[in-house]
């Protein structure tokens, strides 16, 4: 006769677990609840047994062990939040079968529709008055390139060639930055080329560089992304008011306030209050002298991370890829192509096809697959899969903990 001197602990397959030293975190990806335990060696050891691939989310525990070190109470909490169950060995002759959650990654490196979703063209790099203070902004968000001397320009023919190579994509976003992108015939040619596609077109321009003549109206799937930099005054406010009046009834107009300090945030709020538009965003600019501002306004805390409540797909994505970067390419005026502008180029669009460049990144690149599980100090953090994906701010500054959890 079998004696039930132990019980099986069975972890639900929709639960994600992190275990760092003697700290554990269980996250239910269905109801998005979490349970954490800090400094309990026995609970950490049980957790390590559960997540061991050889055990498959199932392990045994003796009755005596169950009564020690708060283990029974912890497992009861897991049961109450539908994360785990206990089964008597008398119900099964063998170890209970379970399913271990694993993300599935599409591996066809040459299938663009599996990977590519966004391309940014830096159409030109020139010396613009007043833009030197933002010469590194392009490493953080789609801001035009700055050059201290004469800059190169992207040919319209090359852009057309890239677009033709991506017509198999079910959808995509094309970003265009730099002076001249709203001038005819350049703007008209791009519009005609993409008129019958589902592709979105976003034109990124600093407010100070807008041409006198703007398109009469934005076409279908088009957005005009205006970047407001400081110092700014009444002239800039008048420009924004005129833009809202011109395009206000369309969804495609957005304003991005490039802020470097609390004072600029306050000034932006004052300007926003005078605009009759909802499409307004803040773009913090890390200029090398304002880490205090970022620590106060951008860094996230433990409460922010826990409140994010990612879905199961988001958890899997964060375990396998960088959601901010994956599927994106950036092309410079000289043809250099980047999976992330803070990394080395993949190649050159004048010598390689879009499919070849995507295959390079899928097969051996680091940008799209840069995860917190693989960088210090995040890989030793309990919240490694709850935390948002690594940002360009972190990559450009080579500091992968814009948070108050792992200082």
Single residue among 32, 58, 91 that ends a domain in this structure: 91
Which residues on neighbouring strands pair with residue 146, listed in sequence order?
126
In a shared domain, residues 39 and 138: no
Residue at token pair 């700055």: 146
Task: Cite the DSSP H helix spans in 97-142.
Answer: 112-115
Domain residues for the domain of 24 are 6-91
Are 143 and 228 contained in the same domain? yes
Let me know whether 271 and 349 are in one domain: yes
Query: In which residue are the tokens 């063209």 written?
Result: 121
Q: Are residues 189 and 223 in the same domain?
A: yes
Write the pLDDT tens digit of every residue in 266-325. Answer: 999 999 998 888 899 999 999 999 999 999 999 999 899 988 889 988 998 888 899 999
Do 130 and 55 have their domain in common? no
pTM: predicted TM-score of the whole model, two decimal places: 0.89
241 plus 332 within the same structural domain: yes
Contacts of 312 (CB under 8 A, 6+ apart): 14, 16, 29, 30, 101
For residues 154 and 291, membership in a common domain is answered with yes
Q: Following CA atoms 234, 236, 237, 243 in sequence, which dihedral angle do they give, to the nearest 10 degrees? A: 150
| 272 part of a folded domain | yes
Please give the pLDDT value at position 172: 92
Q: Are residues 87 and 116 in the same domain?
A: no
Domain count, the chain: 2
Token output for 304: 């922010």
pLDDT of residue 76: 94
Whether residues 257 and 168 fall in one domain: yes
**Which whole number is the average pLDDT over 327-356?**
96
What number is the average pLDDT over the span 25-39?
A: 94
Listed residues 91, 125, 156: the one ending a domain: 91
Same-domain status, 116 and 252: yes
């Amino acid at each position: 006769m079998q004696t039930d001197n132990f019980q099986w602990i069975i972890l639900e397959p929709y639960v994600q677990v992190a275990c760092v030293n003697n700290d554990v975190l269980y996250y239910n990806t269905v109801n998005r609840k979490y349970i954490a335990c800090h400094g309990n060696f026995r609970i950490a050891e049980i957790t390590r047994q559960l997540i061991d691939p050889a055990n498959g989310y199932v392990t045994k525990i003796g009755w005596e062990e169950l009564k020690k070190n708060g283990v029974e109470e912890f497992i009861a909490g897991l049961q109450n939040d539908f994360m785990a169950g206990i089964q008597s060995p008398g119900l099964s002759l063998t170890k209970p079968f379970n399913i271990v959650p694993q993300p599935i990654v599409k591996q066809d490196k040459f299938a663009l529709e599996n990977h590519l979703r966004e391309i940014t063209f830096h159409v030109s790099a020139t010396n613009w008055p007043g833009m030197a203070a933002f010469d590194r902004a392009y490493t953080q968000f789609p801001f035009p390139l700055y050059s201290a001397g004469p800059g190169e320009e992207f040919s319209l023919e090359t852009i057309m060639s890239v677009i033709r190579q991506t017509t198999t994509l079910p959808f995509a976003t094309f970003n265009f930055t730099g002076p001249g992108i709203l001038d005819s015939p350049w703007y008209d040619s791009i519009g005609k080329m993409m008129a019958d596609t589902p592709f979105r077109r976003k034109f990124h321009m600093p407010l100070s560089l807008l041409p006198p003549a703007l398109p009469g109206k934005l076409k279908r799937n088009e957005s005009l992304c205006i970047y407001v930099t400081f110092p700014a005054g009444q002239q800039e406010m008048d420009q924004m008011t005129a833009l809202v009046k011109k395009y206000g009834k369309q969804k495609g107009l957005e304003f991005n306030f490039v802020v470097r300090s609390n004072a600029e945030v306050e000034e932006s709020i004052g300007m926003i209050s005078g605009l009759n538009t909802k499409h307004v965003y803040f773009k913090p600019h890390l200029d090398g002298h304002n880490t205090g501002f970022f620590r106060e306004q951008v860094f996230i805390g433990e409460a922010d991370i826990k409140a994010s409540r990612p879905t199961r797909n988001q958890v899997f994505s964060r375990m396998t890829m960088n959601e901010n970067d994956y599927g994106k390419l950036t092309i410079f005026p000289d043809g250099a192509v980047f999976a992330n502008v803070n990394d080395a180029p993949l190649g050159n669009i004048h010598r390689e096809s879009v499919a070849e460049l995507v295959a390079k990144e899928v097969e051996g690149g680091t940008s799209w697959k840069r995860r917190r599980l693989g960088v210090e100090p995040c890989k030793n953090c309990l919240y490694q899969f709850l935390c948002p994906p690594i940002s360009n701010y972190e990559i450009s500054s080579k500091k992968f903990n814009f948070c108050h959890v792992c200082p």
